[in-house]
Amino acid sequence: MGGFYRKRLGIPLLVALAVAVASAAVWWQLAQRLPKRFAAVVEGRLYRSGQISPAQLERLVRDYGIRTVVSLLDREAPESVAERRTTERLGIAWHCVPLPGDGASTPAERAEIKALLFDPDAAPTLVHCAAGVNRTGLAVGMYRLHVQGWPLEQVLEEMRAFGFEDRAHHQNLRDALVAEAALAQEKREAPPQGESPGS
């Protein structure tokens, strides 16, 4: 009698296990179609992510119309070389402003990133680093501060939502965002071109 129940229960259990394995395989394939932490910053204008494979880049160009890629990784890394070749083959622009993994940056590097991300003729643009957290968070944070007028705390909240750990070794990144927030505020408070204060 025990063998009868084992046989009767064994088949449904095997079927359930096969379905679970197949579902996991489908989920894995779907997960590989988009880069890690891919998200729209502004739909149709600016997107963010972690490292992208050539196949993922092809999909982003096809499905999201990406015209420009801004990489914050080492331009000589094998992944960057493959990415650059893919953008050349697809006929889209590729720019690289390499930053260290902790998001440290100079004012000149930040100015270069802002010029690339703020250019309306380059859109839709994808900005990415390896994990899509620190360096990408800095780039997106500058867009939020300067273009959308977000307050600094809201920028940091969004960064945390994307995995930013906000540790002591990220002080340079926090300092950069504080400086960018002050610059954005100065620009908002400056009199329009051609007017002098008090006129």
At residue 135, the pLDDT reads: 97
Sheet with 68-71: strands ordered across: 39-42, 46-49, 125-128, 68-71, 93-96
Query: What CATH number does the domain located at 33-187 have?
Result: 3.90.190.10
Helices and strands per DSSP (H, E), number in the chain: 7, 5
Domain ranges of the chain: 33-187
Tokens 């954005």 correspond to 184
- Per-residue pLDDT, 105: 97
pTM confidence score: 0.81
- Beta strand 39-42 with 46-49 is antiparallel
Q: What is the mean pLDDT of each run of 10 residues along the chain (199 residues)?
A: 54 54 50 86 98 96 97 97 98 98 94 97 97 97 98 97 93 96 94 62
What pLDDT sits at residue 31? 47
Say whether 48 sits in a helix, a strand or coil: strand
- Grouping H, G, I as helix, E, B as strand and the rest as coil, residue 187 is helix
- Determine whether 140 is exposed, middle or buried from the number of CB atoms within 10 Å of its CB (0-12, 13-18, 19+): buried
- Distance, CA of 88 to CA of 92 (rounded, Å): 6
